[in-house]
Amino acid sequence: MKLLVINGPNINMLGIREKDIYGNDSFEKLEKDIFAWAGDMGIRVEMFQSNHEGAIVDKIQEAYGNFDGIIINPAAYTHTSIAILDALKAVGIPTVEVHISDIDKREKFRAFSYVSLYAEKVIKGHGLLGYKEAMEYFVAK
């Protein structure tokens, strides 16, 4: 099994930004953890992070025929990007949406997710372990 893990804007700033919401762990730790979990589960992963909506859309399109699943934390694009939703729908790859924080318990505008209109599963508020949970979901499928 091969999974694509996509992280949207500002996820690369983990450990620096809003530690009370996102914790102290760095983006580098997240990447290291994901690769370790993948190794333990016997799956392959590719990581991608961008602060640019079009780059994320391009990466989703490139995933067509190359990945068995997508794990995506669209970050701020969760609440604004119909383009990312449309790209996911176009490629038809099973998708799990992950959020480090519980977006339902934050500002009201964060409660709606375009990506959740397509995602098979949404994981919110489990910190970095939400990515592991998403990987386990694909393995169990």
Task: Catalogue the active-site residues.
Answer: 22, 99
How many residues are given for the chain? 141
Judged by DSSP in three states, 27 sits in helix
Question: What's the rounded Cα separation, in Å, for the pair 76 and 84?
Answer: 12
| Longest Cα separation, the chain | 39
Q: What is the dihedral of CA 80, 113, 51, 20, to 10 degrees?
A: 120
In angstroms, the first-to-last Cα distance of the chain is: 11
8 Å CB contact between 115 and 84: yes
